[in-house]
């Protein structure tokens, strides 16, 4: 996106924490916006970064997202399917807990 590129030119780091302690990628993963997710990943967004409770971007996507495209892209870019948070839970746990049946089947 032109706006995003302008932000990067002016010093915005895609891996910094911005809203609610989340990076741009972590915040975006909660939505089914494949284009924005791909844009962030192409500019170095870290799929392995964790928030304070140990969840990764894949945990967040599995919990809050309704589609599998973003999750598939995250996995293609190296997100760890079996990553465990501070409570020992995987992304699959969060998909089941949130009753995201399409994501459960996909994972």
Q: What is the pTM of this model?
A: 0.85
What CA–CA distance (Å, rounded) separates 98 from 102? 11
For 41-97, what is each residue's pLDDT tens digit? 998 999 999 999 999 999 999 998 877 999 999 999 999 999 999 999 999 999 999
Q: Flag whether pLDDT at 3 surpasses 80.
A: no
Domain 2-106 has CATH 1.25.40.20: yes
21, burial (CB in 10 Å: exposed 0-12, middle 13-18, buried 19+): exposed
Report DSSP letters for 28-71, one per residue.
HTTS--HHHHHHHHHTT--TT-B-TTS-BHHHHHHHH---SHHH
For 75-89, what is each residue's pLDDT tens digit? 999 999 999 999 999
What CA–CA distance (Å, rounded) separates 51 from 39? 21
What CA–CA distance (Å, rounded) separates 85 from 2? 35
């Amino acid at each position: 996106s032109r706006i995003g590129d302008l932000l990067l030119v002016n010093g915005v780091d895609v891996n910094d924490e911005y809203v609610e302690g989340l990076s741009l990628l972590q915040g975006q993963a909660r939505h089914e916006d494949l284009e924005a997710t791909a844009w962030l990943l192409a500019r170095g967004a870290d799929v392995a970064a964790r928030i304070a409770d140990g969840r990764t971007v894949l945990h967040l996507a599995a919990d809050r997202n309704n589609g599998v495209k973003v999750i598939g892209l995250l996995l293609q870019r190296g997100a760890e399917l079996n990553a465990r948070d501070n409570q020992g839970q995987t992304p699959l746990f969060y998909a089941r807990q949130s009753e995201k049946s399409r994501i459960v089947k996909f994972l």
